[in-house]
Structures are given as structure tokens and as C-alpha cells.
Structure 1
């Protein structure tokens, strides 16, 4: 008696793929919302208790160390705890920055930066989710942009030019906007199947946009 081979139809495979994609997207947005809330909580605590700035070395060690830990645990349940540790730490680093705005009487700029960040995220997400456009072509431009930003940051360490600092912040906003478009497209087209890694990518982009807006608004107000 011959074997009966049951093959999965293209329609069934496509539906399964769509369900998987929607699950990753849903879990990503849920975890992103929770980590943003936790980050806001640690930033508020850091602001209220006026915790000292971590310093460049500690900030780099904390960020990259926790980022490495998150990537190592991304396929395990412990990865969620690593994400909260990372975003909580980044929220703590915002405290001294926010305190400087509050102390100078420009706390209204914090809300402007927050509103600008939210607008960028929702517009980018809405565009990709409604058009389903493949944004993978941005990867090459983003790599070039990253190199330009890195060179500009190194140059500004020695030059300390305010105009260059503003340019770097503007480049960070453009780069992070592209990263949101690319990551969202990557999720809905099945390129990213790990919602923990997707959450970290989107969070980092939002963090960079918020801090860059603060820098631009702060310099403009001081002028």
C-alpha cells in the first residue's frame, strides 16, 4: 500500500506565516510599551532622588554589557529580564539630563522632545504597517550614516563645536528614524522573528531620538 503524502497548501503556509508575523509584532509592541513605562519610572526616580550621572565609562559599560546580555538571552525567558535591566539602566541615565532642564527652568522642552519622539515613532510605524513597504533598501544608507555619525562624534570630542553637536543630534534623529522604518518592515516581512531583539532595536532608536531632540531644543533655547 502506498503512503499518502499530505502537502501543505500555499494558502495555509501563507496564513501561518502571517499569524507568526502578527504575533511577533504584537509581542514587540507590548514589550516595548512595558519597557518604556519601566524606563520612565527609573528616569523619574533618578530625577526625584537626584542620582549622579553615571559618567561616560560606566554608561558605556552598562549599556553594552546589558545589551550583550540581552542578545545572549534573547531566545530564553530570562531575556525579558535582561531587556528590563537594560531599559531601566537607560532610564536612570536620563535622570541627570532631565534634572539639568528642570533646574534651568526649561522643563517644557522635555514634553516637546517627548511629543516629537512619539510623533516620529507613530508616523513611521503607521506608514510601514499601512503600506507594507519593504524598507530593506535602507540598510546600506544606515551603515553609511552610522560611519558618518561615528566620525563626527570623534571629531567633536576634540573640536567641541556647538554647531557640530547640533548636526550630530540631527543625524541621530535621521538615523534612528530610518532604524524604526527598517525594523518595523523587517518584522512584518518575517525578517525578524525574535520580539526581544526587535524591542531592543526600537527602544534604542526612541532613546536616541528623545535625547537628540532634547539637545537640539536645549541649545536653541539657550541661544
Structure 2
């Protein structure tokens, strides 16, 4: 059975918090994107202190997309979000082997290949979970898929006859009072469209159960 969850920015952290008491021992694969994978790894290893310290270091980056500026500041920030690769360099002070079959969905920006990366340690989960625009530059051409789809879906297209449980993140967007919020709303709408398109195909091949 395959477990799937994810979310972009704060939404990915919230998704993991909702799942922290879930027994994951019955799953053959745990596929995530966004920061969800790292959060789940911390909860499973009882490393909440590491999680809290890491989230604190990420706050300036996670808050950027939601922050409102004076008119021209919004325009500049939209351009920054569209082009900035990020210079986040925070590193975990300790490491530990994972006790769950965690995989993180990635996209290769050069070849457009979408696959999952098997994760063996908490440091690996942190690195690939934060491999996002505005936080880190691509690693050997690879980026986390959370900015394209709020829940992993593209890598599921290869499966057939599997039982898949998807803990879905809501695709909320609202009327935009600023250019900054309009940028975010368009991003969410685009993400939702591609997610629903791919998920329709996955449901024809597998037994899919939506939760959350």
C-alpha cells in the first residue's frame, strides 16, 4: 500500500502535523513533496526539537509569498519569487537513519523527468524537502515538485493495481486584493488543474482512497 501526502510552504507543515500520530508501519512506500517528508520523518523519530529549530530557520522564506508590501514592493516581490533560486544554507546538527520507507517526488528541470528519491536519513529528508524555488537552487537539475502540485501525483502514473491512500491538502485560493496575492492565487489554481488532470488517470489504474 502506498501513502501519499504533501503541500507547499506552510501547507506542507500543516499536513504533516495532522498525520503525526498516524501508524505508518503498514505502508510499502511513503511518497511526499514539499516540507511534509521532513516533518513526517521528525515526528516518526521523535525529533520534534530538530523540526522546531528547522522551521524557525525557514520562517523568513515560508512567509515571503504571503507577505503584503506597498504597491511597488508587491511587484518587486513577485519578480523575486519568479526568478530567485534561494540561498538557504542552514544545516542540521545531527543525523539519524529513518524507520519509514520515505520517498520525495522530484522533477528534473532539464529533462522534465519526474521521479521519486528514496530517503535514508533525516538530513537527506531535510535537504530534498527544502529543494524549492526561493529556498535552494536546483541540485544537479532536480527540484521538489511542490511548486507544481501541492500533493505528489505525477510519479504515481507508473503504478497499476496498487492501493493508494492520499492525504490531500486543500487547494484554497481567494479573491486577490494585491498583486502579491494574485500571484499566489494563480499558482494555486494552476497546481490544482494539473493535479486533478493527473489524478483522474491514476484513479483508472489503481484503488485510490482520499483522506484528510
Do the two structures share a fold, i.e. TM-score over 0.5? no
TM-score (norm 1): 0.29
Which structure is higher in strand share?
2
Structure ID, larger Rg: 1
